[in-house]
Amino acid sequence: MRFVRSLIASKGCTLGPREQLNQLTSYVDGSQIYGSTDRVARELRAFQGGRLKKTTEGDLLPRRCCTDQEFSCFQAGDNRVNEQPGLASVHTLWLRVHENVAREFARINPHWDDETLFQEARRVVVALLQQVTYKEWLPVVLGPRAILTGDLLLLQNAPGNTYSPQIDATLANVVASAAMRFGHTLINDYLAGRQGAIVELVGNFENAKVLFQQNTHPSALMEGLTILNAQSADSFLVETVINRLFATPQARTAFDLMSLNIQRGRDHGLPPYNTWRRACQLRTFSSFSELSSVMPAEVAQVFQQVYSDVNEIDLFPAAISEFTVEGGLLGPTFACLFVDQYSRSKTGDRFFYQNMMQPKPFLPTQLRSISQISYASLICQHTDIQNLQPEVFKNPGLPGNGPRPCSSYPTLDYSLWSDGHNMTVPGGVCMGVGPFRGQGIYDHWCTINCFHVPSFCPPTHCKCQ
């Protein structure tokens, strides 16, 4: 099987360990929507009304040229958008979210220019993406207990300072090269559309043609993704990605995703399984027989047949074989790495949406409105789905998670972003119009928005009648 090594990051004229080149940002910042470079961001923008480019055929992603002219290709902030139609459908959803926010902002603030509309809409969309990630996805992946071990909980009441300049939010090599790939164990052989339509992944890798068809357009596939059970979180991958990954009718060869993940870990120089267990302060193993305490005995026996020493076991195959943590999808080792990464991704991000110390924080009223918006709200508002369960990442058959009418889900209160709103507060009109003594970091914010938050906006900083 052909394996291409990752690009090498330049160290200038110095010597040292091989490091890989990052092609995307490390932050949960919507780069898959807007790109990780200014060049890509500009290619995706329409430069009218703050909008992004899209096709005229059903509010889909913009088209781009393909190597194979028989295939339809889309363009997004992440060039992997075309890997399979389900992924392209999720990209399409977030494009529509941006379009709707920009359109509503233009309605309530008709004097805003394209740049203002785009940046303000992007700021809200990234906030929604961060909220879905931390409030809905991570609890399913990590379980309630692991969520409490890291700085992963979102602020529930008053706004605050979530940022620490001492925290490095850079994506760890081990997370990108191993831990984040746990999702490969959840992949099915097919996607579900409507009226019994099935989209097999084989033959539809790098092919978005199905998204133009009646029962397999993005809304239909999004509905299927919310209903169809994922594969179990375990050491097994389905046939499609083991022996037929990226197979097409024209392709003579295919790839094996498990092998690719193992080789990628070796390409990036990841230490073996026991080393990461030790780093996470988890029990390490001196014999293969001891592995059965954290994974099925039959899997431990396979490792004994493949590896000559328990200290040589690769991280990825061993970590996905672990018994999962309570209420989560990961074993203890990957859960440890996830908690570390997503804690740093939040605390090390000066522009995290709940951080009130950033240059332009959201108003508390705006944050409260954002907090009401769930992934179900976004899917309902931007697809033609009529009924959806409130916890989208969980099966609709679970008690209390049955489908509800989409009309019952709240939408964002866009009036809170009107220029006129910023000068009005409960109890009166803001009278502060200039700087105050002290010149603290919140002086300007409190003066303009006049929203009294204890410890952030002292009464002397803002005067309301």
- Tell whether the torsion through CA atoms of 192, 193, 196 and 201 is positive or negative: negative
The answer to whether 368 and 182 have CB atoms below 8 angstroms apart is no
Residue 54: its pLDDT value, please? 95
Tell me the mean pLDDT in the region 80-89: 95
* pLDDT-above-70 percentage for the chain: 87
The confidence score (pLDDT) of residue 249 equals: 65
Query: In the predicted model, what is the mean pLDDT of residues 84-90?
Result: 97
Smallest Cα–Cα separation from 424: which of 365, 379, 381?
365
pLDDT recorded at residue 464? 39
Instruction: Please determine, for residue 457, whether its predicted confidence score (pLDDT) is greater than 80.
Output: no
What average pLDDT does the segment 299-322 reach?
98
The pLDDT value given to residue 434 = 33
* pLDDT for the residue numbered 15: 81
Q: How far apart are CA 60 and CA 55, in angstroms?
A: 5
141 in Cβ contact with 328 (< 8 Å): yes
Name the pTM for this structure.
0.89
Instruction: For residues 15-20, give the mean pLDDT.
Output: 84
| Share of residues in the chain with pLDDT > 90 (%) | 74
In this prediction, residue 157 carries a pLDDT of 64
Domains of the chain: 31-169+189-227+350-415 (1.10.640.10), 271-313 (no CATH), 422-461 (no CATH)
Supply the pLDDT for residue 150.
80
Helix axes 364-371, 114-131, angle to 10 degrees: 50
Name the pLDDT band for 257 (thresholds 50, 70, 90): very high
Instruction: Give the residue, 461 or 242, on which the prediction is more confident.
Output: 242
Interatomic CA distance for residues 118 and 115, integer angstroms: 5
Burial of residue 420, with CB atoms counted within 10 A of its CB: 0-12 exposed, 13-18 middle, 19 or more buried? exposed
What average pLDDT does the chain have?
88
Q: What is the pLDDT averaged over residues 388-401?
A: 97
Instruction: Average the pLDDT over each of 145-149, 203-207, 229-233, 426-430 and give the range with the smallest value.
Output: 426-430
The pLDDT value given to residue 153: 87
Distance of alpha carbon 4 from alpha carbon 147, whole angstroms: 36
What is the average pLDDT across 346-354? 96
Surface-to-core class of residue 333, CB atoms within 10 Å of its CB (0-12 exposed, 13-18 middle, 19+ buried): buried
The pLDDT value recorded for residue 71 is 59
Is the model's pLDDT at 453 over the cut of 80?
Answer: no
The per-residue pLDDT for 57 is: 77
Average pLDDT of 385-411?
97
Helix count and strand count (H, E) for the chain: 16, 8
**How far lies 340's CA from each of 161, 319, 323, 333, 348, in Å?**
19, 16, 20, 11, 11
As a whole number, mean pLDDT of residues 402-416 equals 97
Angle 260-262-268 from CA coordinates, rounded to 5° = 95
Measure the CA–CA gap between 114 and 249, rounded to whole angstroms. Answer: 44
Q: Which of 124, 118, 94 is nearest to 106 (CA)?
A: 118
CA distance 462 to 449: 9
User: Contact, 346 vs 134, CB < 8 A?
Assistant: yes
| Residue 415, token pair as written in the block | 């009036």
| SS3 of the chain: helix, strand, coil, percent, to 5 | 40, 5, 50
Alpha helices in 114-196 (DSSP H): 114-131, 138-149, 173-177
What is the pLDDT, as a whole number, of residue 465? 33
Q: What is the mean pLDDT of residues 1-12?
A: 84
Beta bridge partners of 404: 388
Do strands 63-64 and 73-74 pair parallel, antiparallel, or not at all (unpaired)? antiparallel
Q: Check residues 441 and 383 and name the one with the higher pLDDT.
A: 383
Tokens of 230: 């994922």
User: How high is the pLDDT of residue 12?
Assistant: 78
For β-strands 198-200 and 190-192, DSSP reports them as antiparallel
Confidence band, pLDDT 50/70/90 cuts, at residue 445:
very low
State the pLDDT at residue 45: 98
Q: How many of the other CB atoms lie within 10 Å of CB of 250?
A: 7
pLDDT per position as a tens digit, 281-294: 999 999 999 999 99
- The predicted model gives 374-385 an average pLDDT of 98
Encoded tokens for 169: 């939010």
Q: Which comes out higher in pLDDT, residue 448 or 99?
A: 99
- 342 contacts 99 by C-beta, under 8 angstroms: no
pLDDT band at 247 (very low <50, low <70, confident <90, very high): confident
DSSP-derived pairing of the beta strands 387-388 and 190-192: unpaired
Span 331-347, average pLDDT: 97
Is 80 exceeded by the pLDDT of residue 461?
A: no
Mean pLDDT calculated for residue range 370-374: 97
Going by pLDDT thresholds of 50, 70 and 90, the confidence category of residue 30 is very high
More confident residue, 249 or 430: 249
Confidence of residue 381 (pLDDT cuts 50, 70, 90): very high
- pLDDT at residue 424 greater than cutoff 50: no
Q: Supply the Cα-derived Rg of the chain in whole angstroms.
A: 24
Q: Does the structure show a pLDDT above 80 at 239?
A: yes
Which of 31, 80, 75, 78 has the alpha carbon at shortest distance from 55? 75
Mean local confidence (pLDDT), 109-128 = 97
Rounded CA-CA distance 378/154 in Å is 19
Q: Which of 17-31, 33-47, 321-335, 364-378 has the lowest mean pLDDT?
A: 17-31
